[in-house]
Structure 1
Amino acid sequence: MSASSSNQEYFQISPSIGEGLRLFLYSQLFVTPRLPTQSFNKQTVIITGANSGLGLEAAQHFYRLDTARLILAVRTIAKGQEAKEYILRNNPQRSDPDTIEIWPLDLSSTESTLAFASRAKIGLPRLDVLINNAGINSPEWKVYEGYEQAVQVNVLNTFLLALSLLPKLEASATLSDQRSQPHLVIVSSEAHRLTKFPEINTPDLYAKLNEKSDFSQQPRYQVTKLMEVFFTRELVARLGSSTRVIINLVNPGLCTSNLDRNSGKSPAMLRLVRFILDRTTEVGSRTIVLAASAPASSHGEFQSDGANQDVEAWIYTEVGQRVQKKVFEQTLQILDARKAGIAREAGLQD
């Protein structure tokens, strides 16, 4: 949707920072997500960003829980091999290393994203779980294919992959019983609560996000996490009862991870706060695996600590609904340009 075809509209957005902070602190200080125990026997699982951090620990849980085929989607094959060796070393009870496969995926590249999706659709007899975990949070301004890197990776090609593989997940539903209904999981964040989303108050959201003068690391990360929430919720709303795939979002919490690897050394006080609040990567990864086995009641919901949790309150308002529609439609237009007919293939109305 271009600026010329859009009526400019002002959205008054007031996040409840205090309530969001209360939820965050309670979760970080007093809740430990339970260890996943549900088996993934006979299932095929793809997890993006699986060579380190939350992705690697989640992959290790999937392997521990008897996943039949585990695909580590990584940018660098050598790092994927290291991740595989780590998983095998820590799970000596299994003796089937060929279960774990390493596939190249670079979400900064549309060509790589579509090639990965094509390989999965053609080469996999079934796909039961797709974990869209890969994401970035960088202070550097970089542009890939005309879009700022966090927008490109966290939003555009994350959902390009998700929509491309949604038909494969749908087809696999006929191979599953009710307990193992296919899952599409978007790894998001409580950070979605922290932004007033000023970029939405322009006719062309993505043109505004491409203005370097307005870029700042944490505000941009917060916006991309909010856009993930909106796109997922609108996707579920538009698919309606036609889908047999459970689609949800998950918040792993604040974890000791490599997501902030490009942020430089933090001030001493912030490092102390992180030391007190941070979960281990393994504990955070539990939430991802729990979301991948969550019941149908999690469909369209935001999962935190293994249970449904409301997203930021203003998202449920009439303003939120209009913002949600705008984010979805402008995003879908870009995705359709990258892969013609993707909306129709995913079962969406034109």
Structure 2
Amino acid sequence: MSISDQAPLQSGFHAKSTAAEVVADIDLAGKIAIVTGGYSGIGLETVRALASKGAKVIIPVRTEAKASEALAALPGDITTVPMDLADLASVRQFAAAMQDALPRLDLLINNAGVMASPQSRVGPGWESQFGICHMGHFALTQGLFSLLENTPDARVVALSSTAHKISDIIWDDINFDRMPYDKWRAYGQAKTANALFANALSRRLKLSGGLAFAVHPGGIFTPLQRHLPKEEMIALGWLGEDGEPSELAKAGFKTPQQGASTTLWAATSPQLVSRPGVYCENADIAAVTVPDSPMARYMGVDPHACDDDSAERLWRLSEDWLGAA
């Protein structure tokens, strides 16, 4: 892809479009989807929309009881299978089971993640936000790649965030081995990694007609904020002093149903067939960030998150790390 591909299409949708609106004219009968984090927040709404249009949806779950409770009222063909993105052995076991069980894989939606969490390590010592948001999903996608490759027009959607603007990949200290840990910089780096992952994956799916996209779902109150104290959310302007959503949040934040719309658009829209690897927001392709714009913090994609060379560098590094884990 080229950065010039980051040009809105005027898709016909907008920031407050809902998942149901985006898939209203889409038929997913006979399609198979895997959605990580599909039992809470926007992941749950993504599953609801996919199943409502006839897709068989498989959800990797870390907590079976929580998933069963959340999914109990959802109609459709929905299955849960144990998996923990922080545990490579469980990711590999899940992928192997899917290879044995599934004839095809039309949609892989890498939705799960953690945000601004306290410092911890996963895998062979990876910083946990990078390890879960990027490396866990990288391992999952690698394990499922032959299914994707053998399914005509398969799509992969990686959940990134406007937080990618906080940090490029910290190439000389990704795991904060030397520098002091900064939870927001670590989150920003992980979200940049998600965008670069989709960029690089799009080239690897090209021969089979597959596509990969990164999406920013928007600001949404979901369990993703579980590591943030109320005082910090007040300081960020998300909550008022009374602990209720601020006027800024009421105006700019989305409902989970609205937050799932860009994921569903990237997963299903025919408008994206000729735009592999792009970063999307508000159910459209995102424009490149205008640096001095008052909205530069909230909208658009920064060049470092859609750079082909960086995407390939990260892919090679991720293959090396995964191979050594």
- For structure 1, the residue ranges without an aligned partner over 5 or more in a row are 1-22, 24-29, 89-96, 174-180, 339-350
Matched, 1:267 2:228: no
* Counterpart mapping for 1:250-261 below 5 A: 250-261=215-226
- Alpha-carbon distance in 2 for matches of 1:140, 1:164: 29
**Separation in 2, partners of 1:218, 1:172:** 37
Larger Rg: 1
The percentage of aligned residue pairs carrying the same residue is: 24
Which structure carries more helix by proportion?
A: 1
Q: How does 1:56-205 map to 2 (within 5 A)?
A: 56-67=44-55, 69-88=56-75, 99-145=77-123, 146-173=125-152, 181-195=153-167, 197=169, 199-200=170-171, 202=172, 205=173
Mapped pair 1:234 → 2:200: yes
- Over 3 Å counting, the alpha-carbon distance change for 1:329 and 1:256 in structure 2 is same
| DSSP-derived class of the 1:127 partner | coil
SS in structure 2 of the partner of residue 267 of structure 1: helix
Cα separation, 1, equivalents of 2:57 and 2:286 = 28
Tell which deviates more after alignment, 239-248 or 280-289.
Answer: 239-248
1:139–1:216 CA contact under 8 A, matched in 2: no
Q: Which residue identity does 2:51 align to in structure 1? A: Y
Is the counterpart of residue 315 in structure 1 residue 304 in structure 2? yes
Q: Give the Cα separation in 2 of the matches to 1:100 and 1:321.
A: 36
- TM normalised by structure 2 equals 0.80
Q: Which runs of 5+ in 2 are unaligned?
A: 1-7, 9-13, 240-245, 289-300
Q: Residues 44-95 of structure 1, C-alpha deviation per residue, up to 9 Å, x if partnerless?
A: 111000110011111011111121x21122111111211221313xxxxxxx
Aligned length: 284
Give 1:212 shift.
6.9
> How many angstroms does 1:278 deviate by?
1.0
Separation of aligned partners in 1, 2:106 and 2:161: 23
Kept in 2: contact 1:315–1:321 (CA 8 A): no
Q: Which residue of 2 aligns with 1:177?
A: none
2:322 paired residue among 320, 326, 335: 335
Report the equivalent of 2:185. 219
Give distance in 1, aligned partners of 2:73 and 2:155. Answer: 25
| CA distance, structure 2, for counterparts of residue 278 and residue 119 of structure 1 | 38
Secondary structure at 2:141's aligned position in 1? Answer: helix
| 1:60 alignment partner AA | R
The CA distance in 2 between the partners of 1:258 and 1:309, in whole Å, is: 25
* Contact 2:192-2:305 within 8 A present in 1 as well: no
